[in-house]
Amino acid sequence: MARIAFIGLGNMGSGMAANLARAGHDVRAFDLSAEALDRAQAAGCTAATSAIDAATGADTVVTMLPAGQHVASVCDTLFPVLPASALLIDCSTIDVVTARQVADAAATRGLTAVDAPVSGGIAAAAAGTLTFMVGGSQDAFTRAQPILAQMGKAVIHAGANGAGQAAKMCNNMILGATMLATCEAFALAEKLGLDAQAFYDIASVSSGQSWSMTTYCPVPGVGPTTPADNDYQGGFATALMLKDLRLAVAAAHGAGADIPMGSRAAERYEAFDAAGHGRLDFSAIIRTLRAKA
């Protein structure tokens, strides 16, 4: 069993750290929030007094932090105290540039690092059914895989360092754009007098089908139970979708890629978030489309 330092015990990290402890690992957990630390302790982790305290003597460090600057700062603090044999697994969603810089900084100290962002929300983190997309060398992937498998249902090697983050932002750019397209199709269908259930029955077995329609239908009472059936509470927050779309837009600028659909989705989610709906599930954007005269 591994000696794991787990840094970042928020909505996602708390469930993930608990699953590692349940699997029998010695998990030393740290978060800036005392409440998060108490939760981790109740779930079988040892509460550390600082990131350094958590990482001292660890063979693996897992980070689940809000953004690139948090990951870079925690790594700056930890790299000097980690043994050269240590493995860093960053599961946060961050920009590709920072992910590669962190991996390079790790390599200069002889450490091994992978970026391993996740698909799946808070429920999947708690249930251990996340999908991990991993960027790093084959050796690093081979080391990270068994640990990630204890927190997820799928662990996929995307390529070199940064490729996991690239996969994550490209995947979520599709999600943002297809959700917006699905919402506008339902809104147009409604204005044309087409019943939402009838449209769902047709489009879900036709070429308009997508995950946004058949697994995460944005219309209440249509398709499987989704956040739409709970007044758009829970699910994947608009603010997090916006974060991922901003990362995709910034990456596209850096790479010289043309992303007209992703850019438009980012603009629409920017406006929806600015209107005070950041905490609502991202499928709630259908409200703005349905409301338009």
Q: Which is nearer to ligand NAD, 95 or 177 (CB)?
A: 95
* Pattern 41-60, ligand NAD, x by CB under 6 A: ----------x---------
Spatial separation of the C-alpha atoms in residues 103 and 95, rounded to whole Å: 13
The label of the residue with tokens 């940064």 reads 162
The interface with ligand NAD within residues 220-249 (CB under 6 A) comprises: 236, 240, 243
Residue 111 touches ligand NAD, criterion: CB under 6 A: no
Q: Which is nearer to ligand NAD, 12 or 222 (CB)?
A: 12
Tokens representing residue 105 in the block:
């900084």
C-alpha distance across the termini of the chain, in Å: 60
Q: Which is nearer to ligand NAD, 7 or 203 (CB)?
A: 7
| Residue 252 near residue 264, CB atoms below 8 Å | no
Q: What is the nearest approach in angstroms of ligand NAD to the Cβ of residue 78?
A: 10
Which residue number has the CB closest to ligand NAD?
10
Spatial separation of the C-alpha atoms in residues 88 and 146, rounded to whole Å: 14
Q: Which is nearer to ligand NAD, 122 or 194 (CB)?
A: 122
Choose which of 7, 27, 147, 179 interacts with ligand NAD (CB under 6 A): 7
Choose which of 81, 122, 174, 181 interacts with ligand NAD (CB under 6 A): 122
Residue 32 touches ligand NAD, criterion: CB under 6 A: yes
Q: What is the nearest approach in angstroms of ligand NAD to the Cβ of residue 105?
A: 16
Q: Which is nearer to ligand NAD, 78 or 187 (CB)?
A: 78
Residue 191 annotated as catalytic: no
Q: What is the nearest approach in angstroms of ligand NAD to the Cβ of residue 266?
A: 15
Q: Which is nearer to ligand NAD, 19 or 93 (CB)?
A: 93
Q: How far is CA 239 from CA 35, 231, 259, in A?
A: 23, 17, 20
Q: What is the nearest approach in angstroms of ligand NAD to the Cβ of residue 58?
A: 15
Count other C-beta atoms under 10 Å from residue 246's C-beta. Answer: 15
Q: Which stretch binds ligand NAD (CB under 6 A): 81-89, 118-126, 131-139, 150-158?
A: 118-126
Catalytic residue among 153, 168, 191, 292: 168
Residue 64 touches ligand NAD, criterion: CB under 6 A: yes
What residue ranges bind ligand NAD (CB under 6 A)?
7-13, 30-33, 36, 51, 64-66, 70, 74, 92-93, 118, 121-122, 236, 240, 243
Return the active site residues. Answer: 168
